[in-house]
């Protein structure tokens, strides 16, 4: 599906399944000024990777997430800011799975990525 408003609401915030963009979405660290859209997040999940969403974290904590995604879980973990979360909240999503954290919990992120973050298969 194109990157547009879904015809029905997602069943969670952030979404863990549902309407998503068509084609392959790069599993990446999105810049805060250009976050992954909800349809892009779901496309990442559908491909098998996990997404870490956050709102208003300190720069050093965002850097921890970037490092984890790019160095420890490349292609398995996307990171994006997400305005629908509470300030300082972090959400970990995989297909059909949602875990919320009050702030950055690096142990929770690594455990979640180990359990749910898969390298998307080549199509």
- How many Å separate Cα 36 from the centre of its chain? 8
Residues 105 and 88 sit within 8 Å (Cβ to Cβ): no
How many other C-beta atoms lie within 10 A of the C-beta of residue 5? 10
3-class DSSP assignment, residue 114: helix
Range of the domain at 120: 1-123
3-class DSSP assignment, residue 116: helix
Q: Kindly state the DSSP code that residue 22 receives in the 8-state scheme.
A: S
Its pTM stands at 0.91
- What is the per-residue pLDDT across 53-88, written as a single tens digit (0 to 9) for each? 999 999 999 999 999 999 999 999 999 999 999 999
Query: In percent, how much of the chain has pLDDT > 90?
Result: 79
Domains: count for the chain: 1
Query: Strands (DSSP E) along 17-61, which ranges?
Result: 50-54
Q: What is the CATH number of the domain that holds 6?
A: 3.40.30
- What is the per-residue pLDDT across 85-105, written as a single tens digit (0 to 9) for each? 999 999 999 999 999 999 999
- What is the per-residue pLDDT across 22-47, written as a single tens digit (0 to 9) for each? 777 889 999 999 999 999 999 999 99
Cross-strand bridge partners of residue 77: 50
């Amino acid at each position: 599906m194109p990157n547009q408003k879904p015809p029905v609401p997602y069943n969670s915030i952030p979404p863990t399944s549902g309407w998503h963009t068509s084609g392959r979405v790069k599993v990446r660290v999105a810049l805060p000024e250009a976050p992954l859209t909800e349809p892009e997040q779901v496309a990442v999940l559908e491909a098998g990777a996990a997404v870490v969403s956050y709102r208003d974290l300190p720069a050093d904590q965002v850097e921890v997430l970037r490092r984890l995604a790019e160095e420890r879980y490349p292609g398995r973990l996307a990171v994006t800011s997400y305005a629908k979360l509470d300030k300082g909240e972090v959400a970990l999503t995989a297909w059909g799975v949602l875990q919320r954290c009050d702030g950055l919990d690096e142990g929770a992120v690594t455990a979640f990525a180990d359990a749910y973050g898969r390298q998307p298969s080549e199509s």
